[in-house]
């Protein structure tokens, strides 16, 4: 029997793949529900995600699994997400005329001067994000459209983030291109974003509840409230897993647990370098305050990026715009006030009451919702929401990859399982590949570039994986190597 640790997208998809190949398996999940970071939380009939979860993939295999699993319960939703700054909405990506209207003539003039100044004294050696963006847009536009949100999300000062991240994210965009575009084509965006996406009728958790049912129907077991406590090794292989007070003898294990959580559970302990590498991986944490608000259509966006410097909230979701079924009453809305933080910092340790009050105060100060309409709130804290890519993470991952390679019946998959800042599709594909490895496959998920494929089926899967690698979100890398964060 194979034990799959964790019932998020990677774990459930791995179990699904195992059952497709007739392999008995058990999924061990610490929480009371499945879906991991992609679960849907329910509070008094209101539904919300851990951050809004778009279902979008370039891989036909993953799209097929989604469509087969949810069928007509998968909605196609239009996308609208804008930037909010000083009581104005700005289109995202930026549209020149909209920027001019939103900032007003005085601020536009200041931004123009600031840009001219930047061109005049442009620095050649662009080391950090702030320099890179200021050189192309001027310092003033950098402050308005880049600094606040970036620092809120990543907790790293912009002059500590390597310039290559800016080059990846805002490639081809500059003040010059914006002006040219205004003169030539009026209002078309410089690059277009995906205009629609798939979303389950009752939130992303619906996908994972159904996937659990598919696994169980095919003979797999999914045990919630079973936190993994220990991994027992014998003769260089995993022999058993202890979880939720039970002991499971196993032929193989796929772990989607954070590497920093998994390694200390191994008995006898792994070598010191591997333990140190696992302990050295760092994360950005996250919390969301869902607000239950009287009224529908409060604003048309799926989500809004908050660039206002005076508030801590980074993004606001309107879940009822993702799917009307996210609130039990057609006269009510379910919003998500999203705060990026570090476990143990001031936001994280605030009481639920304090966070509810903060969210109420901030949404009122932004002028988005009349606080008298707020009828309830719920707080969810999410540890290890974002694997961080600091100066040491690559070495740590290499060390951990070598340790995994030495254990023939242990595989890692998923976002924190591989310490990859990925989306659901990538996590799922890694689950499929990890499952294949336990039945004769040869994928190296830590060093995928070095894979040498033995069969056509493997090559096809590897090609999909390579395609996905190129579409995963980019992560800023601190230039100091220390990853020191704004506290
Ligand atoms: C704010 C936010 C927004 C996102 N938006 C999108 C989006 O729009 N589209 C998209 O595709 N992706 C999005 N993602 C990414 C997506 O959530 C992840 O890619 C995906 O959930 C990763 O799946 P996973 O199975 O690897 O890990 P997880 O979802 O983290 O699942 C791991 C599971 O392991 C369990 N576990 C941990 N420790 C133990 C233990 N000791 N014992 C037993 N079980 C344990 C956890 O409870 C969890 O259920 C977003 C993520 C975040 C944080």
Q: How do residues 405-414 score in pLDDT, each as one tens digit?
A: 999 999 999 9
Structural domains in the chain, sorted by start? 2-38+59-71+199-281+390-469 (3.50.50.60), 93-185 (no CATH), 283-387 (3.90.660.20)
Strand, helix or coil for residue 354: helix
Q: Which of 181-185, 312-316, 458-462, 463-467 has the lowest mean pLDDT?
A: 181-185
Q: Does the structure show a pLDDT above 50 at 116?
A: yes
Q: Which of 143-147, 368-372, 475-479 has the lowest mean pLDDT?
A: 475-479
- 8 vs 444 pLDDT, higher one: 8
Q: pLDDT tens across 226-254, in order?
A: 999 999 999 999 999 999 999 999 999 99
pLDDT tier, 164 (very low <50, low <70, confident <90, very high otherwise): confident
Q: Does the structure show a pLDDT above 60 at 454?
A: no
Mean pLDDT value across residues 266-270: 98
| CA 175 to chain CA centroid, nearest Å | 29
State what percent of residues in the chain have pLDDT above 70: 90
Closest CA to 393 of 290, 483, 299, 268: 483
Task: Check residue 106 and give its pLDDT.
Answer: 92
Mean pLDDT value across residues 201-212: 98
Write out the H or E segment, with its range, that includes residue 197: strand 196-200
Three-point CA angle 240, 242, 245, nearest 5°: 145
Task: Check residue 156 and give its pLDDT.
Answer: 86
Task: Check residue 451 and give its pLDDT.
Answer: 57
Q: Does the structure show a pLDDT above 50 at 132?
A: yes
Ligand 1: residue of 3, 6, 285, 387 to mutate (most ligand atoms within 8 A of CB) is: 6
Q: Does the structure show a pLDDT above 70 at 4?
A: yes
Per-residue CA distances from 309 to 149, 300, 312, 444 (Å): 8, 23, 8, 43
Mean pLDDT value across residues 417-438: 94
> Ligand 1 centroid vs 284 CA: distance in angstroms?
13
Sequence-ordered strand ranges (E) for 228-282: 228-234, 237-243, 246-249, 252-255, 266-267
pLDDT tier, 484 (very low <50, low <70, confident <90, very high otherwise): very low
| CA 165 to chain CA centroid, nearest Å | 17
pLDDT tier, 124 (very low <50, low <70, confident <90, very high otherwise): low
Instruction: Tell me how far apart the alpha carbons of residues 322 and 398 are, in angstroms, rounded to a whole number.
Output: 39
pLDDT tier, 174 (very low <50, low <70, confident <90, very high otherwise): low
> Ligand 1 centroid vs 415 CA: distance in angstroms?
7
> How is residue 417 written in tokens?
């399982």
Strand, helix or coil for residue 442: coil
Write out the H or E segment, with its range, that includes residue 380: strand 374-387
Q: Does the structure show a pLDDT above 70 at 427?
A: yes
DSSP state of 171: T
Contact predicate 244/28, CB 8 Å: yes
Mean pLDDT value across residues 302-327: 96
Instruction: Output Rg (C-alpha) for the chain, integer angstroms.
Output: 23
Strand, helix or coil for residue 379: strand
pLDDT tier, 482 (very low <50, low <70, confident <90, very high otherwise): very low
Strand, helix or coil for residue 31: coil
Ligand 1: residue of 8, 50, 52 to mutate (most ligand atoms within 8 A of CB) is: 8
Instruction: List the residue whose alpha carbon is closest to atom 26 of ligand 1.
Output: 414
Write out the H or E segment, with its range, that includes residue 245: none
> Ligand 1 centroid vs 385 CA: distance in angstroms?
7
Ligand 1 nearest atom to the CA of residue 422, by list position: 19
Instruction: Tell me how far apart the alpha carbons of residues 138 and 412 are, in angstroms, rounded to a whole number.
Output: 44
Ligand 1: residue of 36, 229, 289, 413 to mutate (most ligand atoms within 8 A of CB) is: 36
Q: Which of 97-106, 218-227, 239-248, 396-405 has the lowest mean pLDDT?
A: 97-106
Task: Check residue 190 and give its pLDDT.
Answer: 45
Q: Which of 139-153, 263-277, 465-479 has the lowest mean pLDDT?
A: 465-479
State what percent of residues in the chain have pLDDT above 90: 65
Strand, helix or coil for residue 123: coil
Ligand 1 nearest atom to the CA of residue 243, by list position: 42
- 419 vs 192 pLDDT, higher one: 419
Q: Does the structure show a pLDDT above 60 at 188?
A: no
Closest CA to 420 of 451, 464, 465: 465
Task: Check residue 222 and give its pLDDT.
Answer: 98
Contact predicate 360/371, CB 8 Å: yes
Which residues form ligand 1's pocket by a CB distance below 6 Å?
Answer: 5-11, 28-31, 36-38, 50-54, 227-228, 256-257, 261, 286, 385, 414-417, 422-425, 427
> Ligand 1 centroid vs 90 CA: distance in angstroms?
30
Write out the H or E segment, with its range, that includes residue 314: none
- The torsion angles phi and psi of 40, rounded to 5 degrees, stand at -110, 130
Q: Are strands 221-223 and 25-28 parallel, antiparallel or unpaired?
A: parallel
Ligand 1 nearest atom to the CA of residue 430, by list position: 26
Ligand 1 nearest atom to the CA of residue 12, by list position: 25
Instruction: List the residue whose alpha carbon is closest to atom 12 of ligand 1.
Output: 423
Q: pLDDT tens across 364-389, in order?
A: 999 999 999 999 999 999 999 999 98
Task: Check residue 486 and give its pLDDT.
Answer: 44
Q: Does the structure show a pLDDT above 60 at 187?
A: no
pLDDT tier, 91 (very low <50, low <70, confident <90, very high otherwise): confident
Per-residue CA distances from 432 to 86, 98, 275, 436, 477 (Å): 46, 44, 27, 6, 29
> Ligand 1 centroid vs 382 CA: distance in angstroms?
10
Closest CA to 455 of 442, 446, 468, 465: 442
Q: Does the structure show a pLDDT above 80 at 181?
A: no
- 479 vs 275 pLDDT, higher one: 275
Write the burial class of residue 471 (CB in 10 Å: 0-12 exposed, 13-18 middle, 19+ buried). middle
Instruction: Tell me how far apart the alpha carbons of residues 276 and 298 are, in angstroms, rounded to a whole number.
Output: 49
DSSP state of 192: P
> Ligand 1 centroid vs 42 CA: distance in angstroms?
17
pLDDT tier, 20 (very low <50, low <70, confident <90, very high otherwise): very high
Q: Roughly what angle, to the nearest 10 degrees, separates helices 424-438 and 9-20?
A: 40
């Amino acid at each position: 029997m194979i034990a799959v640790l964790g019932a998020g997208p990677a774990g459930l998809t791995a179990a699904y793949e195992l059952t497709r190949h007739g392999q008995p398996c058990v999924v061990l999940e610490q929480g009371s529900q499945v879906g991991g970071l992609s679960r849907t939380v329910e509070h008094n009939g209101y539904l919300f995600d851990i951050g809004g979860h778009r279902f979008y993939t370039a891989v036909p295999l993953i799209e097929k699994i989604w469509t087969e699993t949810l069928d007509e319960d998968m909605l196609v939703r239009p996308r609208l997400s804008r930037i909010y700054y000083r009581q104005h909405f700005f289109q995202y990506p930026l549209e020149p005329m909209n920027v001019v209207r939103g900032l007003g003539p005085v601020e536009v003039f200041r931004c123009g001067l600031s840009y001219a100044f930047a061109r005049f004294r442009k620095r050649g050696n662009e080391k950090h994000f702030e320099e890179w963006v200021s050189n192309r847009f001027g310092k003033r536009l950098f402050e308005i459209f880049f600094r606040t949100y970036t620092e809120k999300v990543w907790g790293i000062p912009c002059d500590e983030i390597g310039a290559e991240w800016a080059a990846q994210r805002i490639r081809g965009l500059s003040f010059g291109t914006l002006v040219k575009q205004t003169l030539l084509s009026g209002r078309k965006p410089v690059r277009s974003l995906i205009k629609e996406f798939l979303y389950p009728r009752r939130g992303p958790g619906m996908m994972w509840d159904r996937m659990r049912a598919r696994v169980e129907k095919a003979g797999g077991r999914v045990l919630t409230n079973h936190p993994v406590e220990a991994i027992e090794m014998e003769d260089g292989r995993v022999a058993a897993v202890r979880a939720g007070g039970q002991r499971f003898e196993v032929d193989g294990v796929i772990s989607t647990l954070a590497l920093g959580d998994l390694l200390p559970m191994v008995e006898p302990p792994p070598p010191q370098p591997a333990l140190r590498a696992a302990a050295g991986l760092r994360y950005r944490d996250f919390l969301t305050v869902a607000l239950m608000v009287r009224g529908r259509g409060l604003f048309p966006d799926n989500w809004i990026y908050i660039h206002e410097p005076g508030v801590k909230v980074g993004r606001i979701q309107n879940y009822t715009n993702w799917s009307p079924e996210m609130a039990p009453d057609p006269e009510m809305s379910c919003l998500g006030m999203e705060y990026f933080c570090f476990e143990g910092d001031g936001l994280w340790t605030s009481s639920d009451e304090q966070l509810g009050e903060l969210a109420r105060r901030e949404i009122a100060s932004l002028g988005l919702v009349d606080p008298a309409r707020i009828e309830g709130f719920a707080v969810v804290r999410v540890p290890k929401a974002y694997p961080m890519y600091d100066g040491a993470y690559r070495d740590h991952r290499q060390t951990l990859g070598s340790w995994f390679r030495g254990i023939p019946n242990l595989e890692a998959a998923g976002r924190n399982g591989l310490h990859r800042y990925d989306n659901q599709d990538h996590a799922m594909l890694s689950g499929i590949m990890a499952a294949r490895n336990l039945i004769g496959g040869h994928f190296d998920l830590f060093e995928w570039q070095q894979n040498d494929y033995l069969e056509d089926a493997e090559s096809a899967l590897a090609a999909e994986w390579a395609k996905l690698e190129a579409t995963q979100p980019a992560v800023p890398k601190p230039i100091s190597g220390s990853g020191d964060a704004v506290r």
